[in-house]
A and B are shown apart, each in its own frame.
Chain A
Amino acid sequence: MSVKGNEPLTMETFTQGLWKDNPVFVMLLGLCPTLAVTNSAINALAMGLATTFVLICSGFLVSLLRKVIPKQVRIASYIIIIATFVTMADYGIKAISLDLYKALGAFIQLIVVNCIILGRAEAYASKQKPLKAMINGAGMGLGFTIALLSLGVVREILGSGTLFGMHLMPERFQTWSVFVLPPGGFFVLAGWLMLFSWWRERKAQKEVI
């Protein structure tokens, strides 16, 4: 997908990340945090929001400095910019909720090496105006958050019978604890991918008829 600098600001700028180029389900980027922190819905939400924050801020700064940064050292500069915002998000979450901070562990700091953010900085923010870069970042972040939530919700309901900590399933429901353990992450993501490809296939068949 090639992006030129002179396209007008459209709805597409925002919605691109939501569905068509959803970072997790379509592009399969940023899988490590996707699988590692989605064993409950609240962790998934926090991780998604932290990533969105970093995406928006780093998009803005990279786009602002796009004419200043020399081409040879651009990747290193992007990583430093991203690391700065991740440190801010890290201290922010620690200040807001210590429990959440402990549950997410090193994965907040590992946002630095999330390929979605570096990918956006390189492919989009470095060529666009600051406002567009921010809006696109927000869309991508929201798409990422939705993907994380759709995994987190399934895993929490099946794995511990709760949703956002509230009991949802009847008393006699036997929890499938494999879903909150590492293998469950792989299985649920595989399930979602199969669902989407089944849906796409059905749509393609309808168009033929």
Chain B
Amino acid sequence: MDPQSPTFIFLNAFLINNFVLAMFLGLCPFLGVSGKIKTAGNMGVAVTFVMLVSSICAFGLNILLTRYQLEFLRLISYIAVIASAVQLVEMAVKRFSPSLFRALGIFLPLITTNCAILGLALFQTAREYTFVQSLAFALGAGAGFTLALLLMAGLREKLDLADVPSIAKGAAMSLMIAGLLSLAFMGFAGLGG
């Protein structure tokens, strides 16, 4: 498969280089919000949506910054754009679907400080993706994040019933599970050649 094709970029971000389990982006919500499957799913959808919006914004912004040779302002303008995009998404969701807004709650504004979003914008700039490639990248990363979050939530719901040694309770156990999941995801490395 052509490594520059949108399909491959999607698969790459989704499974092979999963944002959470292989690149360590967005670990805070991954460990923090993965207690229940339902919240995990909602969080995943919200993050995917913000990823799409900020990916489009970052693409446009990068063209502007390159034209006026202001690359050193990239980081500052990206984070400002992401913060405003999150705010915009928050207002839009509140206006059009109050029930979804209530379901997401505090997680929506917290997406601003999710490093997966900024990481996505920075990576797509560094790899010089075209518009379509950026969209595929954002979708793949969002889907990968959602998948990792759902898997983790499912495992942790089961774990509530298990007998864990007292020294490994809490964060250590979650990290062990994340490590095992990450090990499993390395199996995708051969996918797509």
Q: Tell me the bound Cα distance from A175 to B113 in angstroms.
A: 37
Within 8 A of A (CB), among B119-171: 119, 122-123, 126, 166-169, 171
The 8 A CB mask of A29-40 against B (1 = contact, 0 = none) is 101110110000
Name 4 extra pairs, CB < 8 A, besides A109-B122, A112-B79: A32-B26, A83-B79, A84-B76, A193-B171
Contacts of A186 in B (CB 8 A): 175-176, 178-179, 182
Q: Is A169 located at the chain interface by the 8 A CB criterion?
A: no
Interface presence of B72 (CB below 8 A): yes
The residue in chain B whose Cβ has the minimal distance to the Cβ of A112 is: B79
Decide if B166 touches A201 in the complex (CB within 8 Å). yes
A80 at the interface (CB under 8 A from B): yes
B56 located at the interface, meaning its Cβ lies under 8 Å from any Cβ of chain A in the complex: no
Question: When the two chains form their complex, are residues B186 and A115 in contact, meaning their CB atoms are under 8 A apart?
Answer: no
Neighbour of B183 across the interface among A33, A35, A112, A178, CB < 8 A: A178
Q: Do residues A112 and B118 form an inter-chain contact, with CB atoms below 8 A?
A: yes
The chain B residues found within 8 Å of chain A, CB to CB, are 21-28, 31, 72, 75-76, 79-80, 83, 113-115, 118-119, 122-123, 126, 166-169, 171-173, 175-176, 178-180, 182-183, 186
In the bound complex, CA of A180 to CA of B94 (Å): 44
Known: A32-B25, A87-B72. A182 touches B186 (CB 8 A): yes
Instruction: Say which residue of A86, A87, A181 sits within 8 Å of B186 (CB atoms).
Output: A181
- A164 is an interface residue with CB less than 8 A from chain B: no
Q: Are B24 and A83 in contact (CB under 8 A)?
A: no
Q: Are A185 and B83 in contact (CB under 8 A)?
A: no
Contact B182 A110, beta carbon cutoff 8 Å: no
Chain A residues with CB below 8 A from B172, complex form: 190, 193-194, 197
Chain A residue with Cβ nearest B166? A201
The 4 closest A-B pairs by CB, nearest first: A186-B179, A190-B175, A36-B24, A193-B172
Query: Cβ of B173: which chain A residues have Cβ within 8 Å of it?
Result: 190
Q: Complex Cα distance A186/B171, Å?
A: 11
Nearest Cβ distance between residue A43 and chain B, in whole angstroms? Answer: 13
Q: With an 8 A cutoff between CB atoms, is A142 at the interface?
A: no
Check A112 against B182 for contact (C-beta < 8 Å).
Answer: no
Residue of B nearest to A30 (CB): B28
Contact B123 A106 (CB under 8 A): yes
When chains A and B are docked, how far (Å) is the Cα of A74 from the Cα of B123?
Answer: 28
